[in-house]
Structure 1
Amino acid sequence: MTTPEAADPHPPTTQLPGPHPPYGTPDAPRIAVRGEAHLEVDPEIARLGITVTARGRDRRTALDDLTRRNTTVLDLVKNYGDAVERLETGAFSITPELTRHGRGERIRTYHGAVRITAELADFTALGELTTRLADLDLTHIDGPRWTLRPGSPAHRDARAQAVREAVQRAREYAEALGTTLAALVELADIGAESPTAHPPAPGRMRSAAYAMAAEADTGAAPLDLEPERQHVYAAVNARFTMHPPRL
């Protein structure tokens, strides 16, 4: 009768391959570089903030006036058709103002406000629209604020240029050692592009569209607005291996 062999209390372990070291070896030296790109491009969107206000001795009067002015603003902006990409109503408020003197709390008047945001992609209509809005009673204009769309090709172009710069810089280091690149080891996006506000570059973009409407209107002349150039930035870290140089 045979008996099973006793289990080995210390069975052999399988050695798993460890991670590659973050440094190079004599047979595969590594180069770590940083690639950056700075682009200056025209804006794609102009954003206007419009605040319509009203006052009244009683709540109903303030609300009626605010509704009428809000409708006037919306109709005016919508008249520009496809030039307006987005029209949104934000905050709405009706607030009582109390008297400062006397006994008890008495409402002196009511204040109403509506916040509207309009985004335009056709800048030729922007100057005229801004002037006509500013000519309305109790209407405050904030802007224009120039920006790029989130999916603008300018962001992609900046990232691609940053990668090309990293490759070119690594090649220059390798050439300085009398060798060439062998392979890409790592490519890391270390920062998203960030458009920032800068003074507008030379060049004029006049508000020339909708001339017939401007001539028919006896209001103020359209503003001549200069689009503000946008600066896009991208950066990457890259690691390459190169063929062993002869030192």
Structure 2
Amino acid sequence: MTPNTDPSAQQNPPAVPYGTPETPRIAVRGEAHLEVDPEIARIGISVTARGKDRREALADLTRRNTLALDLVKTYGDAVEHLETGAFTISPELGRHGRGERVRTHHGHVHITAELNDFTALGELTTALADLDLTRVDGPWWTLRPTSPAHRTARQQAVREAVQRAREYAEALDTTLTALVELADIGAEDTHRNTYTAQAARSLRSAAPGSGPFEDEPAPLDLEPQRQHVHAQVNARFTMAPPRL
């Protein structure tokens, strides 16, 4: 066997992952749990229409969709995001008789809206649910990806890791000397898009023919659901050799 003559290997021996008696290491985990108010509420709006022929169903769906969108847009800056999702027009075949005979056509449009004003949220959901053949689902409470709560949780997790490592070192009558590694293992909101039985209720429209401006019902009182933010880090430190 040929001996290893690489000078770099002799000058830089492989690192020992768990430390040495001369350079002991401490591995700890830091965690943080915060409970904060939500910043955004998301609702789903499903608009439906039906007609004896395809064009009639499409025209009716277009009218109802425009009415719902215009209603949402009247809330201005309270609406942070508005988008149209799935759109379908499908025929319904008759159950009796020979051949494929179309009985009626069904139309469907799904809209998603995100609001930052929860007072406006109650008013809007009530007004939307009062529209004919309109269904409202939600709200789903959440935080923005850039919410300061995420940063606060991460910082608290790091501080806890440092404090825990110091306490271990103090138990050995020594001190920390350096940070070797800090690993983020999931500083994210673990309850994003919270969905509860109360939030899942579907608010359906009133009887056909009623509109949003005729005898409007009182706005719903929606209580925001608190959000839980969790951050966790792994940290490794070196410490001065303790006297055991």
Amino acid at match of 1:22: P
1:199-228: CA deviations, max 9, x gaps?
8xxxxxxxxxxxxxxxx8621100000001
In the alignment, what sits opposite 1:177?
Answer: 172
Structure-2 separation of matches of 1:12 and 1:72: 81
Are 1:198 and 1:230, in contact at CA under 8 Å, matched by a contact in 2?
no
| CA RMSD across the alignment | 1.8
Q: How far off is 1:194 after superposition?
A: 2.8
Are 1:48 and 1:143, in contact at CA under 8 Å, matched by a contact in 2?
yes
In the alignment, what sits opposite 2:203?
Answer: none
Are 2:140 and 2:195, in contact at CA under 8 Å, matched by a contact in 1?
no
2:82 is equivalent to residue 83 of structure 1:
no
2:89 is equivalent to residue 94 of structure 1:
yes
Cα 1:152–1:98 shift into 2, 3 Å:
same
The structure 1 residue matched to 2:48, chosen from 53, 59, 68, is 53
Q: Which moved more, 1:163-172 or 1:15-24?
A: 15-24
Cα 1:11–1:225 shift into 2, 3 Å:
closer
Are 1:77 and 1:129, in contact at CA under 8 Å, matched by a contact in 2?
yes
Q: How many residues were matched structurally?
A: 223
Structure 1 runs not aligned, ≥5 long: 1-8, 200-215
Normalization by structure 2: what TM-score?
Answer: 0.87
Structure 2 runs not aligned, ≥5 long: 197-212
Q: How far off is 1:191 after superposition?
A: 1.8
2:125 is equivalent to residue 141 of structure 1:
no
Cα 1:111–1:14 shift into 2, 3 Å:
same
The structure 2 residue matched to 1:23, chosen from 18, 24, 31, is 18
- Structure 1: which 4+ aligned runs deviate by more than 3 Å? 9-13
1:30-76: CA deviations, max 9, x gaps?
11000001010111100010000001111111111101100110110
In the alignment, what sits opposite 1:117?
Answer: 112
In the alignment, what sits opposite 1:38?
Answer: 33
What percentage of aligned pairs have identical amino acids? 75
Structure-1 separation of matches of 2:111 and 2:167: 53
Structure-2 separation of matches of 1:139 and 1:145: 18
Structure-1 separation of matches of 2:166 and 2:157: 14
Question: Which of structures 1 and 2 has the bigger CA Rg?
Answer: 1
Normalization by structure 1: what TM-score?
Answer: 0.86
2:234 is equivalent to residue 237 of structure 1:
yes
Structure-1 separation of matches of 2:48 and 2:93: 18
The structure 1 residue matched to 2:222, chosen from 199, 222, 225, is 225
Q: How far off is 1:24 after superposition?
A: 1.5
Matches within 5 A, 1:198-209: none
